[in-house]
Amino acid sequence: MPDRPYTLLSCAVSIDGYLDDGSPDRLILSGPDDLDEVDALRAAADAILVGAGTVRADNPRLLVRDPARIAAREAAGKPPHPLRVTMTGTGDLDPAARFFTGPGEPLVYVASPAAAAAAGEFKGQAVVIDAGGHLSLSAVLQDLYLERSVATVLIEGGARILRDALAGGLADELRLAIAPFFVADPAAPRFGLPAAYPQTAANPMTLLSVRQVGTVAVHHYSMAG
């Protein structure tokens, strides 16, 4: 039996592999067609997971946008939106962030030293879970699966969460949208941070499809060889 949810990674990068640029404003890497496909992925998931850095930098709502998809979820007996999840070692998140504004209470996994303070800070806005002294994606996914009945997770970033999922063998699929321009900023966050990835030349991912979606090229991979 598995001890984690089925996990799909979705991110957009520049053609040279950057997730953003170094400016204070979020870099738009994809267009409406790609965002609509990601919305469909959200609607199919039980939970959406992002790192605390993404909550701070991008201030995402992590909600399904299309009313028809929301209605379809409700008709299937599901909540209108997937569970919103983040993980943080420090608990340093703005309570006014859109991540907390609902509907529904999100989950915040916090390392033990900061858990009590975070529980007070986000009281009534989120369920704060003490994730132990060593905050790990593996433990978070296991808790979601075994304790929260989450069968499918969509991970949307950031760079460290994506690295931990891929290098830790915690992902089942990768959807990578590639924008047709360069960032070339060494200070900017990028996809594929250094790590010992199991997907090597001797053990590659399986390419499932390559499609043009609006202005981006979407590559879809299975982690299975």
Residue 91 near residue 115, CB atoms below 8 Å = yes
pLDDT at residue 1 tops 60: no
Give the whole-angstrom CA distance, residue 98 versus residue 84.
11
**pLDDT reported for residue 160:** 97
- Please, is 214 exposed, middle or buried when counting C-beta atoms within 10 Å of its C-beta (0-12, 13-18, 19+)? middle
Q: Which residue is it, tokens 């299309």?
A: 66
pTM passes above 0.85: yes
Band (pLDDT 50/70/90 cuts) for residue 224 is: confident
Torsion of CA 69, 95, 18, 66, to 10 degrees: 10
pLDDT at residue 157 tops 60: yes
Q: Average pLDDT in the 118-122 region?
A: 97
Instruction: Read off φ and ψ for residue 159, nearest 5 degrees.
Output: -60, -40
Q: Which residue is it, tokens 């969509």?
A: 154
Q: Beta partners for 218? A: 177, 211
The string of pLDDT tens digits covering residues 37-61 is 999 999 999 999 999 999 999 999 9
The string of pLDDT tens digits covering residues 162-212 is 999 999 999 999 999 999 999 999 999 999 999 999 999 999 999 999 999
**DSSP letter for each residue of 118-171:** HHHHTTTT-EEEE--SS--HHHHHHHHHHHS---EEEE---HHHHHHHHHTT--
- Mapped onto helix, strand or coil, the DSSP state of residue 73 is helix
The first and second tokens of residue 139, run together, are: 């433990």
Give the whole-angstrom CA distance, residue 165 versus residue 176.
14
The residues near 35 (Cβ < 8 Å, ≥ 6 apart) are none
Give the whole-angstrom CA distance, residue 190 versus residue 178.
12
Report the first-to-last Cα separation within the chain, whole angstroms.
20
**pLDDT reported for residue 185:** 95
Give the whole-angstrom CA distance, residue 181 versus residue 168.
30
